[in-house]
A and B are shown apart, each in its own frame.
Chain A
Amino acid sequence: MDISGQSGKKRLIKAHTPKSRHIKNLSLAFIFGGIICALGEGLLLLFKSIFDEKTALTLVSLSLIFLASLLTALGVFDRVARHAGAGTLVPITGFSNAVTSQAIDAKSEGFVLGVGAKIFTIAGPVILFGISAGIIYGVIYYLAGLLF
């Protein structure tokens, strides 16, 4: 292998950097993500037996957010997520963890300029682009309604 120059350096790095184990990571993400979704479905059935469907759906989201937040505070979430990867990141649990973990971290810097200013550091892009996508979708939906 030619190791001279910038391209040689890049070749060396590529040759020695271990690749992520995609099959293992994807399988674990599928299993853990599936468990969380199954838990959500179970909660939905439970809440639907007491409340109307719309309220029940909101309560499922709230319950999962609360659970993820609690497990984050107890130091359990990151240990599971280390193996679960996208399985815990993609459901609403990932969003909850991103906000709670940042809040815990910023606590030592005060509640206003610490927690207040930094709580959405990681979740911020999700909120910004989530809402932006929602607005664009809304405009398209409105225009499509005028045409058809």
Chain B
Amino acid sequence: MKRVKKLATPPTFLSYAAVGGYEESLGPLGDAFDLCDPSDSFGQRTWESSEGEMGRSAVNIALTKAGLSHTDPELIIAGDLQNQCVASSGGVASFGIPFLGVYGACSTCTEALLLASLMSESEFSSLTVTLTTSHNSAAERQFRTPLEYGGQRTPSAQWTATAAGAFILTTREELLSDKRGLAKITEVMAGRIIDGATADGSNMGAAMAFAAADSIISFFSSSEVSPSSVDYIVTGDLGYVGSDILRDILKEKLPAAAGRHIDCGTLLYDRCARDVHAGASGCGTSASVLAAYFLPNIAAGDIRRILFLSTGALMSPSSVLQGNNILGIAPAVLIEHFEGGNNL
């Protein structure tokens, strides 16, 4: 089974935007975010609506950067962590863009990029927006305890990011002809569902590490690209615990990949200065770090090629209480630098 799909018409990132909250503004990438709201509320009355508004802002910024109006995109693919993905649908409703909602837990960012790539490949949409959001306050309320509840978190627990990443992908050459320094998605692979071997909802990074390892090994065994020819293998939100586990597995099974691994969950916050325990989690983590850090560097040519895998913990509060193991998933996209101009 050849799992990696090499795209005949690789879509280009026309623009992208990262929006975050208070914790994110204090992190090492704080200045690279397009917008951070220190109140986390984005002017809304409830945290659920705040997440929608944060996503709307991210799409708006990406559209403005690309010089597009909200009537231009042919499709928007969006997902978040709230029940029934209401943050996405509520947030992008006002744009009037045809909408597909997706849920991949924290793997949503890569899942949306993968689907957007295939939408352009099939000529369903030549200008697609993808949006991924997570909001700490909305997620804590839904998955854990009330915000003001005085609990003590275990050291392996991660901090759900209040962050959004919006991306505009296109295959229209007229939009790209005058641009130099581009990032394109050239290969995609869907992830398999892998048992995380733990039912501990405070150790999701560990549970997802096995899915990340499976996807990384599968990708390099199926693609012509070798681990040594990518600059980074970027995972979504394994955090410190999950990253350690992944590197141990890679050292044994694919040593060339082990040294190239980096995790967005360890990049978003300063673990020494802030009380974030095992790093960032939530689907906004990989989306915002991709938009704020990796894509600008890939476009500039400082990073030439990354394998990007957002990692998802497939579970619900009920499934955890019922003692079911957390299931992990890690879809993958290969993102490469292109010079642009005549080199399209």
Contact = CB atoms under 8 A, between A and B. Distances in A.
Given A9-B197, A105-B141, A97 B148 contact: yes
A39 interface: no
B100 interface: no
Nearest to A13: B206
Contacts of B149: 78, 97-98, 101-102, 122
A25 interface: yes
A137 B156 CA distance: 39
B4 interface: no
Nearest to A4: B252
B148 A16 contact: no
Given A3-B252, A105-B146, A82 B153 contact: yes
Contacts of B152: 25, 81-83, 85-86, 89
Given A16-B241, A20-B154, A82-B153, A3 B248 contact: yes
Interface residue tally on B, bucketed by range: 20 to 34
A75 B45 CA distance: 17
A85 B149 CA distance: 11
A89 B150 contact: yes
Nearest to A68: B150
Secondary structure type dominating chain A contacts: helix
B198 interface: yes
A32 B248 CA distance: 40
A98 B145 CA distance: 9
A77 B141 contact: no
A81 B151 contact: yes
Interface string A6-27: 1001101101111111000100
Contacts of B252: 3
Given A13-B203, A17-B156, A18-B155, A3 B146 contact: no
Interface string B13-54: 000000000000000000000000000000001101000000
Contacts of B195: 6, 9
B96 to A, nearest CB: 27
B150 A94 contact: yes
Interface in B150-203: 150-156, 195-198, 203
Interface of A: 1, 3, 6, 9-10, 12-13, 15-21, 25, 72-73, 75, 77-78, 80-86, 88-89, 94, 97-98, 100-102, 104-105, 108, 122
Given A104-B146, A104-B148, 14 more contacts: A1-B248, A15-B248, A20-B154, A21-B155, A75-B148, A77-B148, A78-B148, A78-B149, A81-B152, A82-B153, A86-B152, A101-B149, A101-B150, A105-B141
21 contacts: A3-B252, A9-B197, A10-B197, A12-B206, A12-B245, A13-B245, A15-B248, A17-B156, A17-B203, A18-B155, A18-B278, A20-B155, A77-B148, A78-B150, A82-B150, A82-B153, A89-B151, A94-B150, A101-B148, A104-B146, A105-B148
Interface of B: 45-46, 48, 141, 145-156, 195-198, 203, 206-207, 209-210, 241, 244-245, 248-249, 252, 275, 278
